[in-house]
Structure 1
């Protein structure tokens, strides 16, 4: 049993099978995973606070098949907070809401590695307060390419009156989270992301793409606009990724983005880095949230110019208003010949 400080007194958090190996390559045990999350508990709680959060669990370690938990597990302690989320289908669920480090430790004991928060807060789960952009290097590209694209993205965000906070994905990519006022719904925020991403791609078309179909992306960095769709989530800052080297999704300053090697940020190295250098996103929680108006004006301009500004949704989503056909371009060409 672990005792973890809580907002109204200490919490008792069970630690079961502490010597269970989670990362075979490195011999990292469940105890080390839980201890890691307690070491980064304060800044991670700040990043996750009051957000409904999906838990990516690895019950057989990283060599096994993970699964997402979108509903609060049975038997959760009474101090684990929840809130109601609505899926694209219209169904609802009670999701875990992170409010304190003890909740993170409790979830880690359930073999959670990645924490995937919604871009909303529990008081209002219909209006995102973060606009998130996922920079996903395609085959033939890597982190350095994502860093170049991120630099252009930063410029475009500034032109829209927005400020982004970058972090490594824990893999080869980058994530940029942008605080916004919770005044726009999921569709509008996704449209804002599409418009921003298009402007990035127009400036560096040889490096960046918004093409949804993989066959059209080439060796470029994909700005994944569909990560802004309802029920799509991105691993949080400080999350350990379920990869053999136990890499972490690490918050960065903009100055650090072109300089770092994402492989340096691991479960075993990050607590020391945090202790020595502090949290690069310390001021994010109190930053003035941005306004999506300019980005949505860009989207309207694209619609006037292109005829259709909307982009395809993922296949599991219901057909959305104004959405083009979800047909792979090569299949569409064959159908017309």
Structure 2
């Protein structure tokens, strides 16, 4: 089919145009075209709609297929059909946007035609955009963590939710993690829901040595419970979303008795429609089990009374009241030492109790608690990973000493783009063998011009 051709689908009395239906969307593993993805979503439409109906959606558009970088579009396209609703959301920046709301299978097919192979709804209904009706528990395994460990932490989350009288609904993330959504009554603000999610993450961390609530990657271990997914303007992929992996893996709802025996690789575009036809949607009754956050907020209050305050917010948020310094711990510690040294010099202190700072050795380097260096940064993940491989070839001795979680791949998200930064933690490399920070390869930071302009202003 030549470029520019189309296919018209009649869906529940509406006509949806699919442009370039044979355009390849997956080629590296399975072979799937755009129309294949549209038809997949139509085959599981009742389940997919259960996760997005009556919710504003951020359009994450893979216009060149799953193997190219997507972009985020908050505002509804000007040429949307008249029958497709929108809702006006406000954001932490103070700006607003009319976002698409999908209520039926025709709307689902329409946004998939735009390249939305993942579905990213907000945790609110259009009738109340300021009070979420869903708390989201995102279990994010760190490098080197096994699937069995993710499942174990998921079961620990379930045990805690059961004790609190809340019902959790698990699904595979479609990658290496597990999502557990908790339907709640829409009585609490985004700030309160995030506070409850942070209390939950810390409680699970105390119960399981595999769990971590630490925001900074250099402090994390095991399975990170990303409480910040509950901050306003954050979204995660919803149930039955297709993920951009070579096997076209699907974020699939599970029964709890499946969690400890399932393999996420079993759930793909090719297998999930048959599963859905046989067992239906395991989360179909989610709306019947809306719970209360009172117990989690009481846990948060106890933490605060014991001196355990707030944790860092996402980087695009303004500094929040009670939030600790939003800086990597290794930098914060070194910065504190420098400030103390400067203060001592300014006050003329030079005694054994308050020694003057020593000069740095000409040939040495200051030892940091977390010796991090930036290896690569690029809007193209494959290019950044290629830079990491070049670094390993240049420094084979150091590379051989790295643990899996010493390689930090940061997915940086802007307002309408993503980019990748790869850092190396040299903690397992003897100090005298640590490669110095060089120019990242590649060195494509899309925020550089903005930061430089801000510094000059």
1:132-281 equivalences under 5 Å are 132-204=136-208, 206-218=209-221, 220-281=222-283
Q: CA deviation at 1:230?
A: 0.2
Q: Distance in 2 between matches of 1:29 and 1:329?
A: 45
Q: CA deviation at 1:142?
A: 3.0
Q: Is 2:6 the counterpart of 1:2?
A: no
Aligned length: 329
Q: Is 2:32 the counterpart of 1:28?
A: yes
Which residue of structure 2 aligns with residue 108 of structure 1?
112
Q: Distance in 2 between matches of 1:212 and 1:46?
A: 30
* C-alpha contact 1:40 1:271 (8 A) present in aligned 2: yes
Q: Distance in 1 between matches of 2:47 and 2:328?
A: 42
Instruction: Indicate the SS of the match to 2:82.
Output: coil
Which residue of structure 2 aligns with residue 51 of structure 1?
55
Deviations 1:94-116 (A, max 9, x none): 11111111111001111111111
Instruction: Indicate the SS of the match to 2:117.
Output: strand
Q: Distance in 1 between matches of 2:42 and 2:73?
A: 21
Q: Distance in 2 between matches of 1:95 and 1:46?
A: 18
Which consecutive unaligned segments of at least 5 residues does structure 2 have? Answer: 1-7, 338-457
* C-alpha contact 1:143 1:174 (8 A) present in aligned 2: no
Which residue of structure 2 aligns with residue 314 of structure 1?
314
Which residue of structure 1 aligns with residue 376 of structure 2?
none
Match of 2:76 among 72, 77, 80: 72
Q: Distance in 2 between matches of 1:301 and 1:223?
A: 20
Q: Which structure has the larger Rg? A: 2
Which residue of structure 1 aligns with residue 304 of structure 2?
303
Q: CA deviation at 1:160?
A: 1.9
Q: CA deviation at 1:316?
A: 1.1
Deviations 1:279-337 (A, max 9, x none): 1112113x23100011000000000002x421101111111111111011100111122
* C-alpha contact 1:147 1:258 (8 A) present in aligned 2: yes
Structure 1 length-normalised TM: 0.96
Q: Distance in 2 between matches of 1:123 and 1:116?
A: 18
Following superposition, which runs of at least 4 residues in structure 1 exceed 2 angstroms of deviation?
A: none
Instruction: Indicate the SS of the match to 1:335.
Output: helix
Structure 2 length-normalised TM: 0.71
Instruction: Indicate the SS of the match to 1:14.
Output: strand
Q: Distance in 1 between matches of 2:281 and 2:46?
A: 10
* C-alpha contact 1:56 1:114 (8 A) present in aligned 2: yes
Instruction: Indicate the SS of the match to 2:19.
Output: coil
Which residue of structure 2 aligns with residue 90 of structure 1?
94
Instruction: Indicate the SS of the match to 1:83.
Output: strand
Deviations 1:39-61 (A, max 9, x none): 11112112211001112111111
